[in-house]
Structures are given as structure tokens and as C-alpha cells.
């Protein structure tokens, strides 16, 4: 709360939570939480906010010290050397991947959306993947790394992409095609297991869902709800296109990597690579085209007003990255972190 340094308090915080309300992550300076499944975005917002407040209360003061502040940031602005969480798997990751694992203190936002079956999930994956960089741009919340302004709105995504299995994949066609991709990747012996398949969009190995993993953790709960609403609308749109026999867009992995880099660099404050034309366009135009692309799905779910208002708010006030830079410049990083702790719970 005073100097803003990251503290390895996750074990203490998790002990103070009810069972199942939070889990450890790779580093002791971070905790993971998530909502229950919802069909209502307003219910999702209430759930996420309650869980953040529960975590913040557990992180707060108590016997043995003043406690810590919970901040929803993609990277820690001051950096430092994180502390590996206990567990044999994390230890294996550290030995195998070295500095890559030891430096990895980043926080992302994963959205699961239910699908009818794995074939539909593969069809959704193929049609949603070109839009994933736009979701990254809207969520960008990590401009700093090791005390330096990186020039990126989402430097977390650049750090994350150092993992050998991270990033976009090519089209898979159906569940069999996806399973063949997984077998090829695992056959290389590089990832330790299926838990290390860090694709931007993947079929969940645990749930009947498509999992979109491209976003930064959002400073504001409203922005996390916006990302979730867009993911559901993209999935519904993709499933409808699949049922209608419309082919998936022909967008290569190399184009998606370039689009992801542009999104991580500019966020919504510059240009994005348009998912369908492949040409640079102002971010506001690309976001508007995304909203039009999913408008029928948003309307069918009753989400159109909320999602359009959420997107307009991000374009007007900026992402968490813009906010971080402004506060750091005006008040310094420790003040940024104290104010971020308040916005995390707003």
C-alpha cells in the first residue's frame, strides 16, 4: 500500500478465502478467480465484482501485517523478481523454461462460452480467431514492464507470446482437425502437457466451451463484462454462420500475429489491422465493424445496448493502459497502484 512493490501474499490470501473461491497461479504475487457460468451480463458483472471484493478483503490487513492491495493489472508497473508458487508442476515449468517462467508475472482474462458440441466449437474457433486481436485492443491494460513504459498498450501479450504454444492457430475445420492439431503440438515434446496449450482461442479440455484467452485482465469490471459480451456474440455469430454453410474467413496465422502485435501496440488509441481486409484502419472503425458483425447476436441475447455502451466508453475514456500512463505521469506509480486498487473494486 505504501511503496507499491508486489508481495508474494497469494498463499495467505487463499487461506482466508472459502474453498473454491480462488486458486494459485504460477507466481505467489498473483491469484486467480473467475465467475460461475451466467447467461446474463448483469449477473456476470455482479459475480465478478463480488469475487474481486472478496479477494481484496482477504488480501487486506490482519494479524501479522498491514496486508496488501488487490490490483487488476496485466503487468506490475514496477516489476521485480516474482516468487514461484509451490507445486511440482510449477517447479518443472521453471526448470524446463528457465527465465521465461521465472519472469512470468502477467494477468490475463479468459472467457468461456458454451457450445453445442466440439464440432460446433471448432467452427466457432475458426470464425472467431480473426477478431481476437480486437478483443486484446479493447482490454489493453499493461503498458509498463520492469519500471519502464514499453510503448505498448498491452505488453503482457508480448511477454505471454514468448511461450512456445502461445498465440493464434490456423483453422481446424472440426473437432477431429482440432484434435489432430493438439496431437502434432504434443508430439514435439515441447509443452509438458495439454495444460500448456496456450492458444489464443482453444477448445477447453475441462468444459464444453470455447475458451478465448487473448485479453488482458481488465482494470474495470465493466470492461471485463464488455469482453465477455463480445465473445458470446462472436461465438453465436460464428455458430450461425456455420449452420448456414458460410465458410470461415481465410486468415493465416502470420496475418493474425501481425494484427495481434498492432493491437498490443496501439490498443484503441491508434490503428488496428482489420480482421477481414487485412488493412490498417482506425481502431474506432474496426470496433464499429465488430459491433455490426455481431449485432444480430447481441440483439438476440438482449446485450446490444450494454455492449455498445461499453465499447463507446472504452473508446472515449481509453483502456486501462491509457489510464495507467496518465496517472503515472501525474502522480507517480505508487499512487497509480493505490488508485488502481479502488478501480478494481468499482
Residue 8 CB contacts under 8 Å (≥ 6 apart), including other chains: 27, 28, 29, 82, 83
CB 13 within 8 A of CB 22: yes
Helix H or strand E encompassing 3: none
Report how far residue 1's alpha carbon sits from residue 332's, in angstroms, rounded to the nearest whole number: 14
| Positions of the chain with pLDDT lower than 50, given as ranges | 63
Give the distance, in angstroms, between the CA of residue 194 and the centroid of all CA atoms in the same chain.
Answer: 19
Query: 329 near 317, Cβ under 8 Å?
Result: no
Residue 167: per-residue pLDDT: 97
261-306: pLDDT as tens digits: 999 999 999 999 999 999 999 999 999 999 999 999 999 999 999 9
C-alpha distances in Å from residue 288, one per residue of 27, 134, 255, 292? 37, 11, 21, 6
Name the nearest CA neighbour of 5 among 63, 59, 69, 101. 69
Number of H helices, E strands in the chain: 15, 9
Given this model, what pLDDT does residue 20 score? 86
Residue 162: in which H helix or E strand, if any? none
Cα angle for residues 290, 223, 325 (degrees, 5° grid): 105
Spell out the domains of the chain, with CATH numbers in brackets: 82-331 (3.30.590.20)
Residue 273: CB atoms within 10 A of its CB come to: 22
Cβ neighbours of residue 12 under 8 Å, at least 6 residues apart? none
Q: 210-249, pLDDT tens digit by residue?
A: 999 999 999 999 999 999 999 999 999 999 999 999 999 9
* Spatial contact of 284 and 134, defined as CB atoms under 8 Å apart: no
Residue 150: count of CB within 10 angstroms of its CB? 19
C-alpha 243, offset from chain centre: 28
List helix spans (H) across the chain: 10-15, 41-59, 88-97, 99-102, 118-128, 132-139, 155-160, 175-187, 221-243, 253-266, 283-293, 295-301, 304-317, 320-331, 333-344
Note the pLDDT of residue 67.
85
d(CA 126, CA 165): 17
Strands 209-216 and 108-114: antiparallel
CB 119 within 8 Å of CB 174: yes
Q: Output the pTM of the full model.
A: 0.96
In this predicted structure, what is the pLDDT of residue 224? 98
Burial class (CB in 10 A: 0-12, 13-18, 19+), 15: exposed
Those residues with Cβ within 8 angstroms of residue 164's Cβ, 6 or more apart along the chain or in another chain: 190, 191
- Percent helix, percent strand, percent coil in the chain, to nearest 5: 50, 10, 35
Amino acid at each position: 500500500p505504501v511503496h507499491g512493490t508486489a508481495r508474494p501474499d497469494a498463499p495467505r490470501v487463499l487461506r482466508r478465502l472459502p474453498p473454491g473461491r480462488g486458486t494459485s497461479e504460477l507466481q505467489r504475487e498473483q491469484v486467480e478467480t473467475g465467475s460461475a457460468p451466467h447467461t446474463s451480463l448483469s449477473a456476470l458483472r455482479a459475480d465478478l465484482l463480488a469475487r474481486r471484493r472478496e479477494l481484496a478483503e482477504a488480501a487486506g490487513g490482519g494479524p501479522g501485517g498491514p496486508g496488501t492491495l488487490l490490483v487488476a493489472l496485466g503487468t506490475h508497473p514496477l516489476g521485480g523478481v516474482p516468487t514461484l508458487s509451490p507445486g511440482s508442476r510449477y517447479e518443472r515449468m521453471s526448470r524446463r523454461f528457465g527465465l521465461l517462467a521465472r519472469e512470468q508475472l502477467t494477468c490475463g482474462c479468459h472467457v468461456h462460452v458454451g457450445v453445442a458440441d466440439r464440432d460446433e466449437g471448432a467452427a466457432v474457433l475458426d470464425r472467431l480467431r480473426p477478431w481476437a486481436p480486437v478483443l486484446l485492443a479493447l482490454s489493453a491494460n499493461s503498458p509498463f514492464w520492469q519500471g519502464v513504459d514499453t510503448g505498448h498498450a498491452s505488453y503482457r501479450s508480448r511477454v505471454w507470446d514468448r511461450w512456445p504454444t502461445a498465440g493464434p492457430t490456423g483453422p481446424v475445420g472440426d473437432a477431429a482437425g482440432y484434435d489432430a492439431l493438439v496431437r502434432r503440438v504434443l508430439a514435439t515434446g515441447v509443452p509438458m502437457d495439454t495444460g500448456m496449450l496456450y492458444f489464443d482461442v482453444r477448445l477447453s479440455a475441462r468444459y464444453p466451451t470455447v475458451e478465448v484467452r487473448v485479453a488482458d485482465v481488465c482494470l474495470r469490471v465493466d470492461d471485463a463484462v464488455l469482453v465477455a459480451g463480445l465473445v458470446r456474440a462472436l461465438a453465436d455469430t460464428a455458430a450461425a454462420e456455420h449452420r448456414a454453410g458460410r465458410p470461415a474467413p481465410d486468415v493465416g496465422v502470420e496475418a493474425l500475429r501481425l494484427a495481434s502485435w498492432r493491437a498490443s501496440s496501439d490498443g484503441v488509441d491508434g490503428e488496428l489491422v482489420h480482421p477481414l481486409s487485412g488493412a490498417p484502419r482506425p481502431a474506432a472503425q474496426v470496433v464499429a465493424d465488430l459491433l455490426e458483425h455481431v449485432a444480430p447476436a447481441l440483439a438476440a441475447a438482449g446485450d446490444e445496448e450494454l455492449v455498445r455502451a461499453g465499447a463507446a466508453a472504452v473508446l472515449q475514456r481509453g483502456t486501462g493502459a491509457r489510464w495507467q500512463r496518465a496517472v503515472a505521469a501525474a502522480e507517480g506509480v505508487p499512487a497509480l497502484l493505490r488508485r488502481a486498487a479502488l478501480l478494481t473494486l468499482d
